[in-house]
Amino acid sequence: MTERHQVTLVSLLICAIVIWLYYYIALEAPALMAQYDYHAEVIWEAPWRLFTAHFLHLSTMHWVLNVVSFALICVLFARYFSVRSYLNALIVIGLGSSLLLLALGYEGRFVGLSGLNHGLLVMCLLLEMGAAKHPKQRQLVAFILFAIIGKLLFELLGWWPTALEVGQDRDTWQLHGAGILAGVLAWWLHERHLAKLAQLK
């Protein structure tokens, strides 16, 4: 099995876990949502919330949009990862975005993959830009990156309708923005690791 297939398989397994968690919590253990979401006031008493919040969802539409996006990103860009580097990226983006929100004083509560999805997409687009062999490819990637920033601006201005983040419609730009910045960090760490491997060779 190639590394691309392995990464895809891991991604699909994560999708399955996310879907299972939604239905398990909704049908069997609704109290778990309040124990594993992002909640700044108790984050140091329950630091796992920094990561677990990303894999919980509020509604069927919420998980469908996020899981489909997560799977598509993997299918399109799995070639840039090994299983280890892929999981490292998810950890950096998940924890990094939550810690950034905490550092900036974000007081809301949230769940959902959307912040992680934004970060992973930006990371993958930066990898794509670095690997592009033709100027038009780089221009296309740059256009998509600017479109993501434009979407973030629309969210800030309230022009991008959403009701997916624990009722925090006005805060989605912060959640997604933190994910994007964490994605840039994950890209930088990924590239640094590749550079070290190249030196060893």
* 169 token code pair: 């419609």
* 137 token code pair: 């490819």
Residue that is written with structure tokens 């740059």 in the block: 142
Sign of CA dihedral 113, 180, 139, 124: negative
pLDDT at 9: 96
- SS3 at position 168: coil
Containing 109, the helix (H) or strand (E) segment is strand 109-110
Beta strands in 8-55 (DSSP E): 38-39
Give CA–CA dist 18/29, Å, rounded: 15
For the chain, the domains span 3-200
Sign of CA dihedral 51, 52, 55, 58: negative
pLDDT at 147: 96
81, 2 Cβ separation under 8 angstroms: no
The architecture CATH gives domain 3-200: Up-down Bundle (1.20)
DSSP 39: E
Print pLDDT tens along the chain (201 aa).
Answer: 899 999 999 999 999 999 999 999 999 999 999 999 999 999 999 999 999 999 999 889 989 999 999 999 999 999 999 999 999 999 999 999 999 999 999 988 899 999 999 999 999 999 999 998 888 999 999 999 999 999 999 988 877 766 554 445 567 899 999 999 999 999 999 988 766 655 554
Question: Which residues have CB under 8 Å from 138's CB, separation 6+?
Answer: 129, 132
Give CA–CA dist 128/141, Å, rounded: 7
What separation in angstroms does the CA of 181 have from each of 60, 62, 80, 131, 164?
A: 28, 23, 19, 21, 21
Give CA–CA dist 89/110, Å, rounded: 21
